[in-house]
Structure 1
Amino acid sequence: MRSRKTSIEINGIDIYFEEYYHSPHQETYVLIHGFLSSSFSFRKLLPFLSAENNVISIDIPPFGKSGKISRFQYSYENISITILFLLVSLGYKQVYIIGHSMGGQIALNMMLQRPSFIHKGILLASSGYMAKTKRSLRLLSHFPFFNHYIRYYLNQTGVEGNLKQVVYDTTCIDQEMYDGYLEPFLDTNIFRALTRMVRDREGDLPVEKLNRIQTPCLLIWGDHDRIVPLHIGQRLVKDLPNADLIVLKNTGHLLPEEKPEDVYRKIKEFVQ
């Protein structure tokens, strides 16, 4: 297996990715993380997937080690187009896509834009039905130093507080986990980029667009998800024409961290 961790400029911004490549004959999985996260969140799922498959784990801009420039458009549509450009530039013809939380919404946008490119989709506690950012907040984001407000808001609970919200069993939180989720926010440019994201985020796909997605999808949810509650998954599985829903017991929102082996087993069954 060949592996590399690098960045490539795509669509005017640096995209960081980790690639684990066996051969063109192996299945390829693309991992897309959620909001305020990075490819770090897949570190426990990755060994299962990369043992026999090609895997690409991508940092969505402005998160992780990807670019954090304020001139990039951080809409779901543009992020999805950028990731598709990256995959095509790497020579991939068709992939399986795994999206966690906000990454699930990115995955759905990719299925809508290039349905023939996505063989199957796996949505791990995918976000859904969130409206566009309120107009008042979008207007406020144009004021100088709004990025300081975002930083202050996120610091209210801190990394440890946020982690306690996204897992069911808090004993899994250790120093490695804490440091991994803190690292992307040590670069203060992320707060300026998040200011732009407040303006650019167009809201989740409406029902009429979800109904158009024919890609087979597997939805995996934790029964104790406090971030994207199970009823969102139950609604999504009805609005996606070709989808199934699996619920994992005693699991929170951070599925790849809490139940990596169970998630891998369900993915493998779905793909086969």
Structure 2
Amino acid sequence: MKQTLITGTKLINGNDLYYEYYKHSSQKETLLLIHGFLSSTFSFRRLIPFLKEEYNVISVDFPPFGKSGKSTKFIYSYDNIAKSIVQLIQVLNINKITVIGHSMGGQISLKISHLRPDIVENAVLLCSSGYLKRSKLPLVFSSYIPYFHLYVKFWLSRSGVKQNLKNVVHDHSLIDDEMLYGYTLPFLENDIFKGLTRMIRHREEELSENELGEIKTPCLLIWGEHDRVVPLSVGKRLNQDLKNSDLIVLKDTGHLVPEERPNDVFNHIHTFLKRKVPSYQ
């Protein structure tokens, strides 16, 4: 059975969206991977090798992260990012997807599920963000100050990539040079900080309890027991508000579950999807 890797960018809503598409020659269910805040498709590097053997897999860098565009005209809201990703999927002629989102990518996955239940068959939320309010008005107003992006750069660089990784990975022995380089690379140019400044300005509050309750899509929630970024309490609350959901807790695991427990995450996803009756594109 032949499998092809297609990489590229598509101009969507005035910004380039970078994607990696592992496509089988035969019909397979299509999984859409959406990374978290300050990350990229790199964060799925240990999970994709498992997924691509069984499914078509698309991993996308949502703006302004990874290899996607950092346009200073793009609206960096959940709503616009979600709609842009849906447009990318349509450009690639895909009609049905399972969304798999990590952290902020989980919230974008929920947004897509809420906006387009006609195309989302299942959702998998890996330590998904939830219930965040929008940035406070003083910070939003400050984002209009000239060169504010340099302050954003300074704020993010204070702790450094290695310290940030220690905060999201429970087993610090996993942090090696490859991981450090992969998570550092996107931040070596200033344009990303201009995009992040606009994200501060545009990011709306996350889906409310009522909006979550409107989502009928089957959802699987996978959480790290020791998640210090999005605590397990958020996962339990999402599990209550999403009417058709299951929650799995991984022991001795932090926030970065695709890096820490890729085999276990794959097995749980595969078991979850096998219970469903897929309708291929």
Find the counterpart in structure 1 of residue 128 from structure 2: 126
Match of 1:109 among 79, 93, 111: 111
Whole-Å Cα distance in 2 between the matches of residues 11 and 191 of structure 1? 20
Q: What's the offset of the Cα at 1:24?
A: 5.8
**Conservation of the 8 A alpha-carbon contact between 1:23 and 1:54:** no
Find the counterpart in structure 2 of residue 17 from structure 1: 19
Find the counterpart in structure 1 of residue 84 from structure 2: 82
Find the counterpart in structure 2 of residue 199 from structure 1: 201
Match of 1:62 among 64, 83, 87: 64
Whichever residue aligns with residue 70 of structure 1, its letter is: T
Structure 1 residue runs of 5 or longer lacking an equivalent are none
Find the counterpart in structure 2 of residue 246 from structure 1: 248
Find the counterpart in structure 2 of residue 268 from structure 1: 270
SS at match of 2:6: strand
RMSD: 0.7
Find the counterpart in structure 2 of residue 96 from structure 1: 98
Find the counterpart in structure 2 of residue 172 from structure 1: 174
Whole-Å Cα distance in 2 between the matches of residues 258 and 46 of structure 1? 13
Deviations 1:74-106 (A, max 9, x none): 000000000000001100010111000000000
Find the counterpart in structure 2 of residue 31 from structure 1: 33
Whichever residue aligns with residue 192 of structure 1, its letter is: K
Whole-Å Cα distance in 1 between the matches of residues 34 and 185 of structure 2? 18
Give runs of aligned pairs for residues 48-59 of structure 1, distance below 5 A: 48-59=50-61
Whole-Å Cα distance in 2 between the matches of residues 171 and 91 of structure 1? 41
**Conservation of the 8 A alpha-carbon contact between 1:31 and 1:99:** yes
SS at match of 1:18: strand
> How many residues align structurally?
272
Deviations 1:20-53 (A, max 9, x none): 0003620100000000000000000000000121
**Conservation of the 8 A alpha-carbon contact between 2:14 and 2:71:** no
| TM-score, length of structure 2 as denominator length | 0.96
Structure 2 residue runs of 5 or longer lacking an equivalent are 275-281
Whole-Å Cα distance in 1 between the matches of residues 30 and 257 of structure 2? 20
**Conservation of the 8 A alpha-carbon contact between 1:105 and 1:204:** yes
SS at match of 1:137: helix
Whole-Å Cα distance in 1 between the matches of residues 273 and 174 of structure 2? 29
Whole-Å Cα distance in 1 between the matches of residues 26 and 217 of structure 2? 22
| TM-score, length of structure 1 as denominator length | 0.99
Whole-Å Cα distance in 2 between the matches of residues 188 and 136 of structure 1? 23
Q: What's the offset of the Cα at 1:69?
A: 1.0
Whichever residue aligns with residue 120 of structure 1, its letter is: N
Deviations 1:141-176 (A, max 9, x none): 000111011000001111001000000000000000
